[in-house]
């Protein structure tokens, strides 16, 4: 089991949105993720979540795991979850995962837990 965490300053994400608009959002969020995250705090939370997931997988955002290889979605109760693209799943053998995202006081934080399949 591996754990990844990330904290992001919401105002930094807001400045990037104001400066680059949809181009910034398209860089790291799929259209379905953009639909789920209308508020800047949620967008910052998704940024932190993708960084935390990449850390839990042991590689960070890199050639083997891009922002768009991580797909965040919510269950029927609104709890966040994620899945990897087929390409990323072929590299990162994941058995189970858990994701928590929170934002308060100008910060967004995410914690990801990943259990990998043993070789």
Q: How far is CA 45 from CA 1, 65, 78, 102, in A?
A: 22, 19, 14, 7
Residues forming a β-bridge with 103: 108
Q: Is 6 within any annotated ligand binding site? A: yes
3-state secondary structure of 68: helix
Q: Is 64 within any annotated ligand binding site? A: no
Helix H or strand E segment including 102: strand 94-104
Spatial separation of the C-alpha atoms in residues 61 and 53, rounded to whole Å: 9
Give binding residues for Mg(2+) as ranges.
6, 51
Give binding residues as ranges.
6, 51
């Amino acid at each position: 089991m591996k754990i990844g965490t990330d904290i992001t300053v919401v105002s930094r994400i807001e400045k990037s949105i104001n400066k680059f608009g949809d181009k910034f959002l398209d860089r790291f969020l799929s259209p379905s993720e953009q639909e789920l995250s209308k508020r800047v705090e949620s967008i910052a939370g998704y940024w932190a979540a993708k960084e935390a997931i990449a850390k839990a997988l042991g590689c960070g955002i890199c050639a083997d795991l891009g922002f768009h290889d991580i797909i965040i979605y919510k269950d029927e109760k609104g709890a966040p979850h994620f899945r990897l693209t087929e390409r990323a799943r072929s590299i990162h053998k994941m058995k189970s995962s858990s994701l928590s995202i929170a934002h308060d006081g100008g910060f967004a934080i995410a914690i990801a837990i990943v259990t990998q399949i043993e070789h």
